Amino acid sequence: MLDSITHVELTGNYRSTQRIIDYYQQLRPEAPPTKSLASYADEPGLITFQNGTVTKNDLPATIAGLIRKALDAGIPPSEICVLAPHWIHVQALARSLVGLLPDVDFDAPGLSPIHRQRENIWFKIARLFLTTPSPGLFRTRQRWAGEVLRELDDVYGVTVPDSLRTPRQLLRLINATTSAVDDGLDYLRAVFGEFVAALDIDLNFVDALRTAYELFFEKAQSTLDDIGDDALRDSNSFRKLFRHPAGVVVSTCHGVKGEEYETVIAFGLLQGYVPHWNEIFSSRTTADDRASKLLFVVCSRAKQRLHLIAECGRFTTKQREYETTPRLAAIDFDYDSVVLK
């Protein structure tokens, strides 16, 4: 049992440049001063704020330009993160970025038509087929294969052949199974057919597994129809959206807590999004505090490059244009400017 507890404040930061720290500390001035202990602490980096100078329609091209500028500077795709307050904005923007930057990999799981079925065993089988074998992914894929084998046995009562009872054996089967089908869902149907044949499974006699199979494709087709982008339907696009963690990360502000990136690009920094209208209507004092906390999280994810965007051209249901989050608009700072191609 402890005799006493001593409160100690950590004042060192190994993530961000001092300039970025000084910037985001204005959002939480009551916090103790923090010193950058990173090897690049004194680098100026980039801090930009496009306050009402980018329209909603120009947003994809602007962010694509910022991503391209970071890539041209030698920053790996996985060290670039694009954020927005809500998934609905993330998904729309991500679809545009995939089209604008066809040569760039994205880690945007929310774009995958099967992402929302993570508990369905066919999702777990699909990700094994959609991830490319590599030394860096071997342990992860082996763990996934083990999960599939256990679930087939424990949940569905399927006994696989002796030659396929270990994760390594199952991976060999999956790695050797191919299909030339271009459509993403048809590709999965083809390789799933090879998979169940090799495991000697007849879906007509395993009702629960067949129901999960039908639900998997029904929901995936519905999601694709909702997305309405034919460019995301082919099998290569399916694979591209599973190349975690090699690509540019596209996520929500809440989804990256605890993570860090060389470059952070955040948009949708508008009153009503940050904070949400519900928080504003509940208590303006609480709403202002929530806004500063979320903005603090966003800005403190960046190591050396931080790009903030409060776009214009978004309107409420009553046709009032959204305005920049006041807490962000009030910051006095000598921002950098960037020239995009």
Structural domain boundaries of the chain? 12-110+243-329, 114-229
CATH of domain 12-110+243-329: 3.40.50.300
Q: Are 113 and 241 in contact (CB under 8 A)?
A: no
**Mean pLDDT over all residues of the chain?**
87
- Element of type H or E holding 264: strand 261-266
Number of C-alpha atoms within 13 angstroms, CB side, residue 251? 21
- H helix and E strand count, the chain: 12, 8
CA 167 – CA 147 distance, rounded (Å)? 9
Q: What's residue 94's pLDDT? A: 85
Q: What is the 3-state secondary structure (H, E, C) of 33-62?
A: CCEECCCCCCCCCEEEEEEEEEECCCHHHH
pLDDT per residue as tens digits for the range 209-261: 999 999 999 988 887 877 666 666 777 777 766 665 568 988 888 878 788 99
Residue 48 has pLDDT above 90, yes or no: yes
CA 192 – CA 186 distance, rounded (Å)? 10
**Phi and psi dihedrals of 85, rounded to 5?**
-65, -35
Residue 283 has pLDDT above 70, yes or no: no
Average of pLDDT values for 161-178? 94
CA 13 – CA 17 distance, rounded (Å)? 9
CA 59 – CA 49 distance, rounded (Å)? 13
Residue 197 has pLDDT above 90, yes or no: yes
Residue 45 has pLDDT above 80, yes or no: yes
Give the contacts of 337 (CB within 8 A, at least 6 positions apart).
Answer: 48
Of residues 42, 84, 36, the one with CA closest to residue 60: 84
CA 263 – CA 336 distance, rounded (Å)? 14
pTM given for the model: 0.71
- Element of type H or E holding 263: strand 261-266
Average of pLDDT values for 11-29? 88
**Phi and psi dihedrals of 249, rounded to 5?**
-80, 130
